[in-house]
Amino acid sequence: MKSPTTIVIGTRGSGLAIAQTTWVKEQLEKCHPRLRFETKIIKTTGDKLQKTRVAGPLPKGLFTKEIESAMLLGKIDLAVHSLKDMPVEETSGLLLGAIPKRADYRDALISRKETAVEHFGSSSTLVTNSPRRRHEIARLHPDFKWVAMRGNIDTRIRRFEETLEWSGLILAVAGLERLRPPVDGLVITPIPTETILPAPGQGALAIQCRADDGRTREIVTPMNHFATRLCVETERQFLAGLGGGCQMPLGTLALHSDGKIRFKARLYTDGGQLVEWDKSWLCNDAPAAAYALAAEWRSGTNCQTPPLAP
């Protein structure tokens, strides 16, 4: 029987997921020294499929379904997720209790020498499993070759180290900073958002709990960061306006300053056409305005994944 002073946190078993959950656990322990926080590792369908070498991104819900089921059954009290892995539609009975301050939202180039992606030659081969990253770079460098690769951060870095014909590997800065994997002999170079806009919610964590569990919701409230939540909700509402499950390559970035939200988005449509938005809204209006902007565009087009050259 679980003690009423014990809070169980559910997480995936990857190194990055455990590192993220450990950080949240430590912050909660500082806020609530009289409570005991435990971590419970739950294997998800996404984790199992991640080990395969089949190319292409996995649907977001595959990384959260089993954890959410455990929460609804009362086996865990809350869960820590990478926000960009979560579907925009909230699961019935669950909600996002807190979103901590966002880490670096940029993507990064991992290479064998210090260089920026624009300095690679036309015969260079880059590794990423993200159509968004691939289309963003191809917009500026259409002659690059591409390799799709799934797996956790350590696996991708190891395979990159072993494959000398690959020029660079692209991963999220936040994941690299949280996990701090060994990268001896490699160079990590953040990629400016002018080159690659991040995925909606990239760099942010989500603390999920049951909607009817007021006690846990109160416990996680100190972890909530207002500006981060407003920005990522704006990004995710834009995605929701596109249809939520739409798999088109989409980069978004919402930044908070002086009571306003500056929002940028780049979307690659069927056939590879680029559509760009650059807007500014009052803070309280931003999420709804982002949804309306995307929904208005979607009403006049089809939401399809653009083809990628082999």
Question: Can you give the pLDDT of all 310 residues of the chain as single tens digits?
Answer: 556 789 999 999 999 999 999 999 999 999 999 999 999 999 876 555 455 544 555 555 566 889 999 999 999 999 999 999 899 999 999 999 999 999 999 999 999 988 888 888 888 999 999 999 999 999 989 999 999 988 889 999 999 999 999 999 999 999 999 999 999 889 999 999 999 999 999 999 999 999 999 999 999 999 999 999 999 999 999 999 998 765 679 999 999 999 999 999 999 987 778 999 999 999 999 999 999 999 999 988 655 444 443 3
Geometric angle at alpha carbon 284, from 281 and 287, rounded to 5° = 70
Per CATH, the homologous superfamily of domain 1-100+204-224 is Periplasmic binding protein-like II (3.40.190.10)
Secondary structure class of 65 (helix, strand, coil): helix
| Residues in contact with 89: Cβ distance below 8 Å, sequence separation at least 6, in sequence order | 240, 244
Candidate list 47, 85, 107, 213, residue with the active-site label: 85
CA atoms within 13 A on the CB side of 168: 30
Decide if 107-191 and 225-299 have a common fold: no
Q: What is the residue whose two structure tokens read 């993220």?
A: 20
What number does CATH give the domain 225-299? 3.30.160.40
Q: Check if 47 is active-site.
A: no
What number does CATH give the domain 107-191? 3.40.190.10
Residue 160 has φ and ψ, to the nearest 5°, of -65, -45
